[in-house]
Amino acid sequence: PTDIFPKEIGVATTFSFELYPPRSAAAADALEVSLAHLVASGPEFISVTYGAGGTTTDRSLRVLQQLRAGGVDAMAHLTCVGSSYAEASAMIHEFLDAGITKFLALRGDPPAGAKEGEDFLGDLGSAGELVQLIHRIRAEKAQFVQPPLAGFPRGTRLAPQPKVTIAVAAFPNGHPRSRSVSQDLDTLLAKEAAGANLAITQLFFDPEDYLRFVDQARAAGITMRILPGIMPVLSAERLHRIVQLTGEKLPTELLRKLEAAGSPEAQFEVGVDHASSLSRALLNGGASGLHLYTFNQHPAVLRILRETGLYVPVKEYA
């Protein structure tokens, strides 16, 4: 079995999206249009990225609030690289106070110019430590907001607290910094031990990368759900950039097809086809859902959902 979560307990296959906070007023307007389409498709949640070093806090929070107002479960990415303990704690307080109960806890990439291994981390050395800090601050806040009642010990909880989801990143083809598959598995195991209850993977191009990784994770004792991250690659230029950023191996066949396609429209079709067949293979292999990187645009990801049968829009979208 691969991602045994849905098959064994009968959870429906789901899908979710990733957005980034818009960088200009025009981009914010364009996002509103795409958001309407994405929200209408009924995703399990929508996650919003976070600029390492806190560069996007306000903009990320604005999109998260927009999602919550639209009735969508909003997941906040948080990073801890370069932060002091006090800064990381203040960030967590701010997002919890905004009503966020879903997080993707990340270490974050080194600042520009710094290399892996240099002294750039700050007080929290890894995503696992951020997971623990979120849990601890949340527990402290839950006790603090309950007034002590006569006859009850201080901290008695009157109402059940909303369930918190703390997701973490997983790397089917290895994190660029890790030396071996077993280091990646150990890191993920440590994140689960710290309290993570969902993993979302880095993008990959071959379904076997994910299916093999999930088998290895289960064999290593990792039990949390592992959602595959799917990125539609809609141009050869984007493919080169992604490979450079992630350290993934260049998928030469996909590159050849994108280059042969020529026009942006034809490349769009190649990218959607590739991501759709990847998604179908993952679902057939037992994946419990798809986490789609949207680049803040709806047409490609909704097409992929239609091709995989996960969502058929009532109206044709633009």
Q: Does 178 bind ligand FAD (CB under 6 A)?
A: yes
Is 18 annotated in the active site? Answer: yes
Amino acid 13 reads T
DSSP state of 180: S
Catalytically annotated residue among 8, 18, 237, 259: 18
Residues 80-119 binding ligand FAD (CB under 6 A) are 104, 106-109
Strand partners, 229: 291
User: Judged by CB, which is closer to ligand FAD: 72, or 200?
Assistant: 200
Strands 165-170 and 198-201: parallel
Q: Which residue has the tokens 């966020």?
A: 100
Q: Does 156 bind ligand FAD (CB under 6 A)?
A: no
Q: How far apart are CA 52 and CA 104, in angstroms?
A: 13
Q: How far is the CB of 211 from ligand FAD (least distance, A)?
A: 17
Query: How many helices (H) and strands (E) are present in the chain, helices listed first?
Result: 11, 9
Q: Does 50 bind ligand FAD (CB under 6 A)?
A: yes
Amino acid 22 reads P
Q: Does 216 bind ligand FAD (CB under 6 A)?
A: no
Which of the ranges 3-11, 169-177, 262-270, 300-308 carries the binding residues for ligand FAD, by CB under 6 A? 169-177
Q: How far apart are CA 51 and CA 54, in angstroms?
A: 6
User: Judged by CB, which is closer to ligand FAD: 184, or 192?
Assistant: 184
Q: How far is the CB of 96 from ligand FAD (least distance, A)?
A: 18
User: Judged by CB, which is closer to ligand FAD: 267, or 294?
Assistant: 294
Selected binder of ligand FAD within 93, 141, 175, 280 (CB under 6 A): 175
Q: Does 66 bind ligand FAD (CB under 6 A)?
A: no
Nearest 5°: phi and psi at 171?
Answer: -125, 90
Q: How far is the CB of 256 from ligand FAD (least distance, A)?
A: 26
Residue 28, CA atoms < 13 Å, CB-side half-sphere: 9
Are residues 287 and 228 in contact, defined by beta-carbon separation less than 8 angstroms? yes
Which of the ranges 84-92, 122-130, 252-260, 271-279 carries the binding residues for ligand FAD, by CB under 6 A? 122-130
Q: How far apart are CA 195 and CA 193, in angstroms?
A: 5
User: Judged by CB, which is closer to ligand FAD: 186, or 253?
Assistant: 186
DSSP state of 122: B
Q: Does 41 bind ligand FAD (CB under 6 A)?
A: no
Residues 242-261 binding ligand FAD (CB under 6 A) are none
* Token pair belonging to 17: 């999206």
Are residues 199 and 229 in contact, defined by beta-carbon separation less than 8 angstroms? no
Are residues 139 and 93 in contact, defined by beta-carbon separation less than 8 angstroms? no
Selected binder of ligand FAD within 57, 66, 83, 126 (CB under 6 A): 126
- 3-state class of 211 per DSSP? helix
- Catalytic (active-site) positions: 18
> Which residues contribute to the site for ligand FAD (CB under 6 A)?
49-50, 52, 77, 79, 104, 106-109, 125-127, 169, 175, 177-178, 183-184, 187, 200, 202, 229
